[in-house]
Amino acid sequence: MAGISSGGSSPPVTVLFVCLGNHCRSPAAHAVAEAMMHGTPARIGDGRFDSAGTGRSHVGDPPHPMAIAEGAHRGYRVGHRSRQIHPDDFANFDLIVAMDRNNVDDLERMRGGVDLRHSCYAAVEPVQVQLLRRWDPYAMPGDEDLPDPWGKTADAYRSMFDVIERCLPPLLDHLAWLRSEHTSTAH
């Protein structure tokens, strides 16, 4: 799991980005989160990130070449070997951020409806599995999914990154809030 740990009073919030294949959307979100965290000194230590897929079809593969290219064009290093979610991930991550409702359904089925987190944040963030577009300031009801660009044109990858870049600053603000709430309730 990549990320930065701070010496603050609360541990970083751990976030796992999940899509179907861990080939396009979740590694892109992972890369953008890492870059935004490193680029904002006030946020350093708020989060640690990883990504995974619900399916096995791309395990061990690098991200899709168009995700790598669009990420590089925007200054992100989308370099991750695809992996499938593991049962331990449900215990080890504070937030699991899914790219679409099908991912949420798969994740809920996999975890069996049981919250297995070993986390100080479970009390402040009672919902572990959430959609990325929860943090999209432009999302409308019924517009919760981040469309899968796999098999589509470069425009689909540009749109994917546009959405991710809109969602990540509010998500990172949310991680900072979780840490502050944990710190205030721990005293």
49-62: per-residue pLDDT in tens?
999 999 999 999 99
pLDDT one-digit tens code per residue, 80-103: 899 999 999 999 999 999 999 999
Per-residue 3-state assignment (H helix, E strand, C coil) for 26-86:
HHHHHHHHHHHHHHCHHHCCCEEEEEEECCCCCCCCCCCHHHHHHHHHCCCCCCCCCCECC
Residues 46, 50, 136, 148: which is the catalytic one?
148
What's the pLDDT at 82?
97
The pTM (predicted TM-score) of the whole model is: 0.92
Q: Is the pLDDT of residue 3 over 60?
A: no
Which fold, 2-177?
Answer: Rossmann fold (3.40.50)
What's the pLDDT at 113?
84
The yes-or-no answer on residue 25 being catalytic is: yes
More confident site: 37 or 25: 25
Residues 19, 24, 111, 117: which is the catalytic one?
19
The yes-or-no answer on residue 148 being catalytic is: yes
User: What are the domain boundaries of the chain?
Assistant: 2-177
pLDDT one-digit tens code per residue, 118-128: 889 999 999 99
